[in-house]
């Protein structure tokens, strides 16, 4: 099966196995992906419509070049994932394609095109996959393998096995805990530090994570909602609970940067369905609620920031640091991070009681606290403070306190409701352009 010349309407080129071999005189253009070129020939002049591959004009390839058509399924998958609640945008460098190749085989990528962020029963996926030439008896084993590799997620709904796509963050990346390689981390860093991913990530109306205060920082005058209390989140959960190594600290260590806040590895807790998959995949171990509380207290004592999933029924509780955690490092790069953060508190300081000791400056993970020029009092940057409470619990003068924001942010009931809300308010191209302009103006 070949392509059609837009000028003559005649077929051009041919498919040889998985490779599309271009004939002399062709120019093939694709805006979103640079194909693998194995040979060069004389320049052609005809612009072709790659109707077989359903691609758009853009990058130029000349007659005699060879295109690996197996790569194209990954571009289709990238586009499919970008249409889900949390996007997966294309880039010129193609790091996103290399990431997908590490997570999905070509057949798995083809199957994943039939899965969305909404949990789908096995039988439904089998029905959809039949039209793609994937044998029905292969579908379940392929789905299980993708779930083992952390490319998708499985959940149970009323006793029925269901599968769903997951974002790169929080999702596919975290499930790679036992599969990290320097090459994967290079691609991940290149992709997530780029403008396209950053705008897509910030474009969600509601963030995937939120910050809750450490327990000792909250005064008795505050009525604390259960979703803002680490003890209540753990005690109120049906479990199961897991404990895993922090992937951010592991990644940093692999790149030669050890954590400055803790030497403990097991700090992050998946809960419920995420815990089941993490434990079954060998990422961590099962723990009881009592041990989960003990680990939370140790995290608090070391000044780590509690960041659960942004839902009343939390799927995980991360314990983050400003030196390793991708979310907090990203936060520090933004001109006004509170615009993109979910938190119900911020810190305040009594200038009369403050001694300017700077313990709070060292304790803050997001560079929200400084000391005034006279060295007499701490100053809180309310554009940066995320209300974690770590500065409050170690203030020797008792000058720091936590203040509840006037407008409370109530998280969605669960992750499905969170993703539904994100999807409903997802920004398009114009929205992302406006966001980029807003960020530039605030610098």
What's residue 16's pLDDT?
37
Phi, psi of 345 (to 5 degrees): -135, 160
Task: Give the tens place of pLDDT for each residue, 18-40.
Answer: 444 444 444 444 433 333 333 33
Task: Give the tens place of pLDDT for each residue, 200-221.
Answer: 888 777 888 999 998 765 654 5
Please report which confidence band the pLDDT of residue 70 belongs to, taking 50, 70 and 90 as the band edges.
low
Please report which confidence band the pLDDT of residue 419 belongs to, taking 50, 70 and 90 as the band edges.
very high
- d(CA 97, CA 112) in angstroms, rounded, equals 14
Please report, for the chain, the start and end positions of each structural domain, with discontinuous segments joined by +.
3-69, 83-202, 215-404
- d(CA 286, CA 244) in angstroms, rounded, equals 9
What's residue 432's pLDDT?
60
Task: Give the tens place of pLDDT for each residue, 246-300.
Answer: 999 999 999 999 999 999 999 999 999 999 999 999 999 999 999 999 999 999 9
Which has more confidence, 313 or 204? 313
Res 192 pLDDT > 90: yes
Phi, psi of 11 (to 5 degrees): -60, 145
Please report which confidence band the pLDDT of residue 430 belongs to, taking 50, 70 and 90 as the band edges.
low
Which has more confidence, 38 or 303? 303
Task: Give the tens place of pLDDT for each residue, 365-388.
Answer: 999 999 987 778 999 999 999 999
Which residues on neighbouring strands pair with residue 248, listed in sequence order?
Answer: none
What's residue 195's pLDDT?
87
What's this model's pTM, rounded to 2 decimal places? 0.80
SS3 sequence of the chain: CCEEECCCCCEECEEECCEEECCCCEEEEECCCCCCCCCCCCCCCEEEECCCCCCCCCEEEECCCEEEHHHHHHHHHHHHHHCCCCCCCCCCCCHHHHHHHHHCCHHHHHHHCCCCCCCEEHHHHHHHHHHHCCCHHHHHHHHHHHHHCCCEEEEEECCEEEEEECCHHHHHCHHHCCCCCHHHHHHHHHHHCCHHHHHHHHCCCCCCECCECCHHHCCCCCCCCHHHCHHHHHHCCCCCEEEEECHHHHHHHHCCCCCCCCCCCEEEEEECHHHHHHHHCCCEEEECHHHHHHHHHHHHHCCCEEEEECCCCCCEEEEECCCCCHHHHHHHHCCCHHHHCCCCEEEEECCCCCCCCCHHHHHCCCCCEEECCCCCCEEECCCCCCCCCHHHHCCCCCCEEEEECCCCCCCCCCHHHHHHHHHHCCCCHHHHHHHHHHHHHCC
- Angle 429-441/195-202 helices, nearest 10 degrees? 100
| C-beta separation of 160 from 121 below 8 A | yes
Res 226 pLDDT > 80: no
**CATH code, 83-202:** 1.10.10.10
How far, in Å, are 57, 91, 171, 319, 421 from residue 73 at the CA level?
Answer: 17, 16, 21, 37, 29
Task: Give the tens place of pLDDT for each residue, 52-68.
Answer: 333 333 334 444 444 55
- d(CA 363, CA 393) in angstroms, rounded, equals 10
For residues 394-417, give the mean pLDDT.
92
Among 258, 321, 253, 265, smallest CA distance to 295 is for 265
């Amino acid at each position: 099966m070949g392509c059609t010349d837009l000028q003559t309407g005649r077929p051009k080129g041919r498919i040889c196995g998985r490779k599309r071999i271009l004939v002399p005189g062709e120019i093939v253009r694709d805006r979103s992906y640079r194909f693998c070129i194995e040979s060069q020939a004389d320049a052609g002049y005809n612009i072709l419509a790659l109707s077989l591959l359903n691609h758009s004009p853009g990058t130029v390839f000349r007659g005699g070049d060879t295109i690996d058509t197996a790569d194209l399924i990954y571009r289709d998958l990238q586009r499919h994932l970008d249409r889900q609640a949390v996007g997966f945008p294309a880039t010129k460098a193609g790091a996103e394609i290399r990431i997908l190749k590490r997570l999905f085989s070509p057949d798995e990528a083809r199957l994943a095109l039939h899965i969305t962020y909404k949990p789908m029963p096995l039988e439904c996926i089998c029905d959809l996959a039949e039209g793609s030439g994937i044998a029905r008896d292969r579908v379940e084993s392929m789905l299980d393998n993708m779930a083992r590799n952390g490319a998708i997620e499985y959940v149970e709904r009323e006793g029925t096995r269901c599968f769903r796509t997951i974002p790169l963050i929080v999702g596919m990346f975290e499930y790679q805990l036992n599969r990290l390689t320097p090459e994967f981390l290079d691609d991940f860093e290149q992709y997530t530090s780029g403008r396209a991913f950053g705008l897509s990530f910030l474009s969600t109306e509601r963030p995937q994570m939120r910050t809750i205060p450490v327990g000792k920082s909250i005064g008795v005058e505050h009525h604390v909602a259960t979703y803002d209390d680490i003890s209540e989140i753990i005690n109120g959960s049906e479990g199961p609970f897991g404990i895993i190594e922090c992937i951010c600290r592991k990644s940093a260590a692999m790149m030669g940067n050890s954590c400055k806040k803790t030497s403990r590895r097991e700090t992050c807790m998946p809960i419920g369905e995420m815990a089941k998959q993490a434990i079954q995949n060998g990422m961590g171990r099962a723990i009881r609620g009592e041990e989960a509380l003990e680990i939370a207290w140790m995290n608090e004592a070391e000044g780590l920031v509690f960041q659960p999933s942004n839902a009343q029924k939390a799927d995980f509780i991360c314990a983050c640091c400003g030196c390793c955690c991708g979310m907090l490092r990203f936060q520090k790069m933004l001109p006004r991070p509170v615009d993109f953060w979910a938190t119900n508190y911020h810190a305040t300081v009594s200038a009369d009681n403050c001694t300017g000791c700077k313990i709070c400056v060292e304790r803050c993970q997001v560079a929200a606290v400084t000391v005034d020029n006279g060295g007499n009092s701490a100053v809180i940057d309310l554009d940066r403070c995320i209300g974690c409470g770590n500065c409050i619990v170690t203030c020797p003068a008792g000058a720091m306190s936590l203040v509840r924001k006037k407008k409370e942010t109530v998280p969605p009931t669960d992750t499905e409701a969170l993703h539904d809300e994100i999807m409903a308010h997802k920004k398009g191209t114009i929205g992302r352009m406006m966001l980029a302009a807003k960020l530039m103006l605030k610098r």
